[in-house]
Structures are given as C-alpha cells and as structure tokens.
Amino acid sequence: MPDIASRVYNHHWKIDPIVRSLIDTDFYKLLMCQSVFRNKPDTHVTFSLINRTKSVPLADLIDEGELREQLDHIRSLSLSRGESTWLRGNMFYGKRQMFRSDFMEWFEGMRLPDYHLERVGDQYELTFEGSWPEVMLWEIPALAVLMELRGRAVLRGMGKFELQVLYARAMTRIWEKIERLRKLDGLRLADFGTRRRHSYLWQDWCVQAMIEGLGDRFVGTSNCSIAMKRDIEAIGTNAHELPMVYAALADDDDELARAPYDVLADWQEEHDGNLRIILPDTYGTQGFLDRAPDWLAGWTGIRVDSGDPATGAEIAIKWWKDRGEDPTQKMVIFSDGLDTDKIIELHQQFAGRVRTSFGWGTLLTNDFRGLVPNDTLAPFSLVCKAVGANGRATVKLSDNPNKAMGPADEIARYKRVFGVGAQPKLDVIV
Amino acid sequence: MPDIASRVYNHHWKIDPIVRSLIDTDFYKLLMCQSVFRNKPDTHVTFSLINRTKSVPLADLIDEGELREQLDHIRSLSLSRGESTWLRGNMFYGKRQMFRSDFMEWFEGMRLPDYHLERVGDQYELTFEGSWPEVMLWEIPALAVLMELRGRAVLRGMGKFELQVLYARAMTRIWEKIERLRKLDGLRLADFGTRRRHSYLWQDWCVQAMIEGLGDRFVGTSNCSIAMKRDIEAIGTNAHELPMVYAALADDDDELARAPYDVLADWQEEHDGNLRIILPDTYGTQGFLDRAPDWLAGWTGIRVDSGDPATGAEIAIKWWKDRGEDPTQKMVIFSDGLDTDKIIELHQQFAGRVRTSFGWGTLLTNDFRGLVPNDTLAPFSLVCKAVGANGRATVKLSDNPNKAMGPADEIARYKRVFGVGAQPKLDVIV
C-alpha cells in the first residue's frame, strides 16, 4: 500500500515518470498490435490527441517541457525481461502462448517512434506518425501522461495533509461504490481505466481495493502491468482503430462496406472464445449487424461502447434471436462512461436475458469530482485516435454523433455506404 | 507520512510495541515527577487502572499475554541519549534547563517498576505500587496500551482495504474538524490526546495535520516524544494526582484543608508564567477558590477539567475580579471531553473576557465513532489514578460526582472538610 499522497507531494522531483513500462498499457492494444503486425505491418498511420472538452486548457495547465520529458521517457522504455517472460508464458483468456514468437521478438526490440508536439492556442497538438504497429502503442501512455500531468498541475499547490485528505476522500468514495457493487449477484466487472486514470498508483490502488472488496465479481484489469503485478487476468479484445484503419485503406465503396467484416475475419483466424467480441458501433451498430455475415452471429459477444447502452444491448439480443442464437449464452460488454448507478441498473435490467460484463473506466480510476475547488480535477474527454492511414483520413461515426470524427465529406460518404441516418446526440463526459 | 493501515494490518507481528519511548508520555507527568522527586520522593503510592465504562469488557477483548508483553516492553525502556539531550537542552515554556541535573540523572537510570495484573470478571485489575516518582510514570503508557490493544482487537478481522478506508474516513473527519477550527481567530489549541489515543501513529498524524491545517492556532502537544519529533512545543502543567496524594498524606483535617494549597506553594517555587496554572476542581472548584490565599490569584490561569466548562470559567472570572485581578490578562484552559462544537462555542463565548486555551484529547486522537459495526471503536472512559499513598486511600471529588473516587467514608470526610454540597452529575464519555 503505497503512500500516494506523499508520492504526489514529491512530484516536484526532476522527473517522476508517469509511465514506467511498455506494458503499462491496455491488453487489447497488444492483441491488436499482434494482429496488425501480422496482417497490416506496412501501413503508415497518424494518431492524434483530441481533447473533446475544450474548456480544459491543457496547454495553460501543463508545462511543455514537463510534457516532453514524460514523452521522451516513454520513448526510452523497452520491454523488460520479466515483462517479456510474462507475455510469453502467461495464460490469457485460458490460452498459453497468446503472443507468437515473431511478434515477441519484434516487441522486445521495439521503441516508440518520435512525436510531434506543438502548442495551438490553449491546447496541445500532439501527433504520432509511422508504422501502425509502433504508432498505435502511443495511444494509452500519451493519454495517461496528459491526464496525470493535468492532475499534478492542480495538486501542486496543496499541502501534505490536504493531499492526504483528498486521497482519503477519494478512497472512501471508491470503497462506497465497491460496497454497493458487491451486493450484485453474478456481477462481472473489469478495470478499463488506464487511459484516463488519475495516476498509476491510484489505478493500482483501485484495482487492489476491488480484489479485496469484490472478490470474484472483479474479473481483471485491462492494464497489463497491473495484471502482472497483482497476478490477475488481463482483459480486453479489440477497438475502433482496426475497422477505422481497414476502412481508410479501402480503395472503393464496396471494399469500404466490407472493411469492418474483414477486420473480424482476420481476428477470427487468431482468436476464439471470449476473445471473439464484436465492437459493432464504428459505423453504426444497427446497419453493421443487419449486414453482418452469419458466421459473426456465432461469436461470443458484443461490446456496447456508444449510444444508449440498454438500447445497444436490446439491438444485440434481437439480432442474436433473429440469427437463431440463444442470447442467454451470449455476452454483452458495457464499456462506455460507466459508473455505479448505471452498472447496477444495466446488471439488473439484463439479468437472465444475456450475460453481461462491465468495463469500468474513468469514473473508477479518476473520480475526483467535487473534491477540489472549482472541480478542476473532474475527468474530461481526451482521446488519441488514428486520424490517417496511408495518406487517407480515417472516419468514425459511432452510435453517438458527439463521438464521430473525420472530414465532413468523408463522414457523408461513410454514412451513405453504411446506411447511417439520424442518430440521437448524447453528452460525452469521459 | 506512515501508512497507518498497513502498519495496523501488520500488528500480527510477534510484538509491535505500542509505547516505544519513556517520553511517549504527557509533558506534565515529567514536570510533576520532578516536583515529586524534589518534594515527596519517599512517598509510597498505588496507582490503579479504572475502566469507568463497564460495558467495554476489556478482559474479553484483550489477550492477557499480549497485554503483559506490552507492559513488559515498557519496563525494558530507558531514556535514550537523544531524549535526554532534548529534555536537558530544549526550551520549555520559554525556559532553558527546565529539568534539573539531579532529576535528569535519576530519570536516565530509571526503569518502570513491576505491575500487578489480574483478570476479574470481564475486566482487568492492573495496579502499580512503589515509589511515587516511578509509579506515576506508568499512568500514560498503561492507558495508551489498553486503549490501543482494544482497538487492535477490533481491527484484527478487517481486510487491508477495509482498513485503509476506515483510516481514510477517520482522516477526513479530523480534517473537517480542523477546517472548522481554522476559522476561529485567536484560537489556542493543544493536543492532549496521548492517554486515550487510537495509536501512536494516529496521534502523530493528527498532530501533523493540525500543524499544517491550524498554523499558529495549534500551540503544541502534551506528548513529549511527538513534540521532540515534530519540533513543536511540549504542553502541560500539573494534574489531580498532586493534591490527591498530598491530601492523603495529611495527618488531620486542618492539614487536609491546606493540602491543595501546599501543592501549589511547592509548584510556585519551581515555576512561573504560563506554568502557573491552577487546577481547582479536585475537591470542588468553588470552595477551593473561596479559601485560596491571595498569592494564588496572581497565577496565570485556571484549568477547567470537570463540571460544566462555561460555569467553571465564569467562576474563575468572578474570582479574579473579586481578588482585584483583570480577567482579560488571565487564561482559562479547557481540557475536559472537548470536541469541535464545544471548542467553537467556548471560544466565542469567552472572547474578549478572558484568554482561553484548549487541551483537546480523546475526541481528537481517538474519534472513530460510528466507523465500524456496533461502534466497537468508540472511545471509552479509562483512567489510571493514584488510589493510595503511604497506606491511606486517596480521594477525588471533582466538580462532577461521576468523576469522584475514593472510599465512601473518606469521600464524606473530604466533602465536610472542603465544604462540598450537592453537585450536578454529568455524563462522562471519555
């Protein structure tokens, strides 16, 4: 049990690295990286940081030199022997040698590529360009660095005991959430909070609190470093960047329409069981499922990551029934902006109808809302996305127009190709 | 900032000493000890532990072996070189060399005498007999050991994170008290919480939180060990044991009536300024002041330690006025069962009429009320008192009959000698 408040107090050290390991990242990044390494190794991509909460002036809050130090430190990291051994030898989702030797050899020699950082108004422009398997690994550490530097900026002026009490209050809050969640029979909950966490130590504390407080209702963490350290399951499957880049690489509308299914065909060659989880919302869930090939209905589950989650789950259940599948044998994974109330509500609403699982993110690992004056520690919506691939812009539509991205003309084209009409706009908190 | 929850979790160590130093005691004990060493060195006394809260079955909660280990450990302690240097060289109440060489030489060689421990029903009988200057030094460590072992017994079954959250809640509570108190202009507040503290680490945390949170409003601690470690003032003057033993030694009623003033005459020879504080309630405040010699009205202040505190302060103010003294130049020290509300009320009530100062004890260093099921960590009223001197029983009347002690016939005699009539009974929480 580290003394988080003391450590925070000591952040005035020359550099206290925020990311200390290449596997201090989400497990699905490594799975996707291996898939990309095998199927699209030569793709040239651009990833870019996007602060969807413009009211948080990151460039005013965070010193550019400090940010560069943190990013440079991440570029100096390489896979340690123990980490490599863990990735090679550990059982993930019931499978040994999840990571192939050729991938591991490449990963052991990998360093993160350079970044481009520029201040634009009160925001930073931070982009990463290069080979997809390398650039994609910037997403999680870059987000974690920005989130934590913003938090450090806010905490800098506080006294030791003021800090201790801040953490005491935040701990009490997490524990009260856990006390409510432990009452749910059959709950399956994982930590998905790496990217927008308050800090590494804090995420690690939250995970340990859930291990003690939730018992087997807590199924694991997306964070490989913490999974290794705490000897628990690493959790995650795949994300929007796969269909987004595959789609950008498509040479015409027919190829574009096929791209999201090509991704999953490649995925199916490598993975089975609980790793066969469909993320259907990149270009609209309903259309994706309507046009999906039958083999996809045989997959284990669907992850609902935008739009109204109950609606998304109902669409999935109906789709499985239409395709002759038994929804009670399927799994719906909720992972969008969850907090205790929503988890309890969804868990109860779908009990007995479909297996549910929850990927709890920012409001687990960064809920300091209301704990400092002017709420300057409240989480905000920061993402790091693939914005280009081989010279073409990427597009995401999502089930919530507030999460859409891409150039307007390309969005129009994608909407036409994927048959996406009007969608309800939902606020994005995190 | 130690990680208290971890330390508590590790209390299953063979022995984790509760008292690690002979100066982990109240400063006034050392002042009184020096006075006794000089004036009454050959007195043979008996001190006894008294649990005024019978509903707390100490002998059921605390293992006798564990208790003996702790007490034996205290008997093994001697003054360290650094502690001796601090006592000899430090400035106390603006005075250097407060402790005389002959006393320090004796103290450096002193070990605490043996104890008598016996289980009686669900309580322990714990007594100490021998030379007054030695036996008196048992009071504070014996109380601290009993209080902390009871807490450890309650905490033993808790998980690591449950414990962390327990402390998080307790820290938040203290901090909220501090946030209220910091608003009081001219507040003078000291920690008097050693004897009934939750633990040493916890008391030390509370003191540090007050240093940060209260600034000048926090004037010091009664605990010598913490005063030395945190480089703050050691606070305290004298206590009931002096008049109680002097009174027991009196050979007739006339000597008895004079005894409380003899104590202060001896004290006046040694101390001046802020150390000249009258503790008038041992045999009833009103009668004590009515019969007091005029030289006592010249003393700096009065400590109100039983009865209704505002009433006690009004009596003191009136007395000073009657004796031609200016109360605004005098000090009233409140030290009985204080908590935030009462401190704020008294501070405001007497602002401008008399200087006030607060010795905040158990509800500072041991307020875990309501934080565990069945409130089994709530503080309770445990004292360790001189019960006999040179073969005679001691008596205390106090301004609250619920704090009185001694054999019934002796109480009757003392009431007659000191002219004490009916007194209002007040609940004793701590």
Write down the pLDDT at residue B429. Answer: 73
Return the closest-CA partner of residue B323 out of B315, B333, B312.
B315
Mean pLDDT of the region A260-266: 97
Q: Are strands A44-51 and B44-51 parallel, antiparallel or unpaired?
A: unpaired
Q: Tell me: the pLDDT tens digits for B115-133?
A: 999 999 999 999 999 999 9
Please state whether A247 falls in left (phi above 0), alpha (psi between -120 and 50) or beta.
alpha
CB contact under 8 A, A171 and B164: yes
CB A392 within 8 A of CB A243: no
CB A194 within 8 A of CB A141: no
**In Å, how far from its chain's centre is CA B36?**
17
- Burial of residue B408, with CB atoms counted within 10 A of its CB: 0-12 exposed, 13-18 middle, 19 or more buried: exposed
Return the closest-CA partner of residue B110 out of B90, B89, B136.
B136
**Confidence grade of residue B5 (pLDDT, cut at 50, 70, 90):** confident
Helix (H) / strand (E) containing B7: helix B4-9
Whole-number Å distance between alpha carbons of B217 and B185: 8
Whole-number Å distance between alpha carbons of B321 and B317: 6
Whole-number Å distance between alpha carbons of B238 and B300: 14
- Give the C-alpha distances (Å, rounded to integers) separating A391 from A213, A388, B78, B283, B358: 49, 6, 78, 94, 73
CB contact under 8 A, B167 and A168: yes
Residue by residue, DSSP assigns B119-184 as: EETTEEEEEEEEEHHHHGGGHHHHHHHHHHHHHHHHHTT--HHHHHHHHHHHHHHHHHHHHHHTTS
For residue B423, being part of any structural domain is answered with: no
**Confidence grade of residue A157 (pLDDT, cut at 50, 70, 90):** confident
- CB neighbours (10 Å) of residue B51? 20
The interface residues of chain B toward chain A in range 149-188, judged by CB-CB distance below 8 A, are 159-162, 164-165, 167-169, 171-172, 175
Write down the pLDDT at residue B157. Answer: 84
- Give the C-alpha distances (Å, rounded to integers) separating B185 from A348, B182, B363: 53, 8, 22
And the tokens for A122? 């009160």
Q: Tell me: the pLDDT tens digits for A87-138?
A: 999 999 999 899 999 999 999 999 999 999 999 999 999 999 999 999 999 9
Whole-number Å distance between alpha carbons of A9 and A257: 52
Helix (H) / strand (E) containing A34: helix A27-39
Residue B376 has pLDDT above 60, yes or no: yes
Amino acid identity, position A280: P
Q: Tell me: the pLDDT tens digits for B322-372?
A: 999 999 999 999 999 999 999 999 999 999 999 999 999 999 999 999 999
CB contact under 8 A, A208 and B160: yes
Mean pLDDT lowest among A397-406, B215-224, B299-308: A397-406
For residue B427, being part of any structural domain is answered with: no
Write down the pLDDT at residue B114. Answer: 97
CB contact under 8 A, B208 and A3: no
CB contact under 8 A, B159 and A212: yes
Place of tokens 């001219």: B186
For residue B129, being part of any structural domain is answered with: yes
CB contact under 8 A, A212 and B168: no
Q: Using a CB-CB distance cutoff of 8 angstroms, which residues of chain B are in contact with residue A167?
A: 168
CB contact under 8 A, A171 and B159: no
Write down the pLDDT at residue B430. Answer: 72
Q: Using a CB-CB distance cutoff of 8 angstroms, which residues of chain B are in contact with residue A165?
A: 171-172, 175, 209
Closest residue in B to A159 (Cα) is: B212
Q: Residue B396, SS3?
A: strand
For residue B358, being part of any structural domain is answered with: yes
Of chain B, the percentage scoring pLDDT greater than 70 comes to: 97
Q: Tell me: the pLDDT tens digits for A201-229?
A: 999 999 999 999 999 999 999 999 999 99
**Confidence grade of residue A5 (pLDDT, cut at 50, 70, 90):** confident
Whole-number Å distance between alpha carbons of B280 and B287: 9
DSSP label at residue A145: H
Closest residue in A to B166 (Cα) is: A172
Closest residue in B to A205 (Cα) is: B161
Q: What are phi and psi of B51, to 5 degrees?
A: -95, 105
CB B303 within 8 A of CB B237: yes
| Residue B209 contacts A where some CB pair is shorter than 8 Å | yes
Write down the pLDDT at residue A160. Answer: 86
Residue length of chain A: 430
- Based on the structure, what is the number of domains in chain B? 1
Which domain, by its residues, includes A371? 4-417
Closest residue in A to B175 (Cα) is: A165
Q: Using a CB-CB distance cutoff of 8 angstroms, which residues of chain A are in contact with residue B169?
A: 168, 172
Residues with Cβ within 8 Å of B135's Cβ and at least 6 positions away in sequence, in order, are: B45, B46, B47, B113, B128, B129
For residue A152, being part of any structural domain is answered with: yes
Q: Residue A26, SS3?
A: strand
For residue A255, being part of any structural domain is answered with: yes
CB A26 within 8 A of CB A270: no
Q: Tell me: the pLDDT tens digits for A18-50?
A: 999 999 999 999 999 999 999 999 999 999 999
Closest residue in A to B212 (Cα) is: A161
Q: What is the CATH number of the domain that holds B188?
A: 3.20.140.10
Residue B423 has pLDDT above 90, yes or no: no
Q: Residue B96, SS3?
A: coil
For residue A366, being part of any structural domain is answered with: yes
Give the nearest partner residue to A1 out of B160, B169, B209, using CB atoms. B160
Return the closest-CA partner of residue B368 out of B359, B355, B356, B377.
B377
Mean pLDDT of the region B17-28: 96
Q: Residue A272, SS3?
A: coil
Q: ipTM score here?
A: 0.78
Whole-number Å distance between alpha carbons of A182 and A282: 33
Q: Residue A405, SS3?
A: strand
CB contact under 8 A, B171 and A159: no
Q: What is the mean pLDDT of chain A?
A: 95
Residues with Cβ within 8 Å of B21's Cβ and at least 6 positions away in sequence, in order, are: B77, B80, B83, B225
Write down the pLDDT at residue A11. Answer: 60
Q: Which of B3, B165, B167 has the highest number of chain A CBs within 10 A, making it the mutation to test binding with A?
A: B165
Considering only CA atoms, give the Rg of chain A: 21
Residue B9 has pLDDT above 90, yes or no: no
Write down the pLDDT at residue A424. Answer: 85
Return the closest-CA partner of residue A209 out of A194, A184, A230.
A230
Q: Using a CB-CB distance cutoff of 8 angstroms, which residues of chain B are in contact with residue A209?
A: 161, 164-165
Mean pLDDT of the region B141-166: 93
Residue A12 has pLDDT above 60, yes or no: no
Write down the pLDDT at residue B421. Answer: 86
Which residues is B48 bridged to in the sheet?
B127, B385
Q: At what angle do helices B27-39 and B241-249 cross, to 10 degrees?
A: 20
Q: Which ranges in A92-159 belong to alpha helices (H)?
A: 101-109, 132-135, 139-155
CB contact under 8 A, A3 and B5: no
Q: What are phi and psi of B49, to 5 degrees?
A: -80, 135
CB contact under 8 A, B162 and A208: no
Closest residue in B to A174 (Cα) is: B165
Residue A380 has pLDDT above 60, yes or no: yes
For residue A429, being part of any structural domain is answered with: no
And the tokens for A110? 């990998």
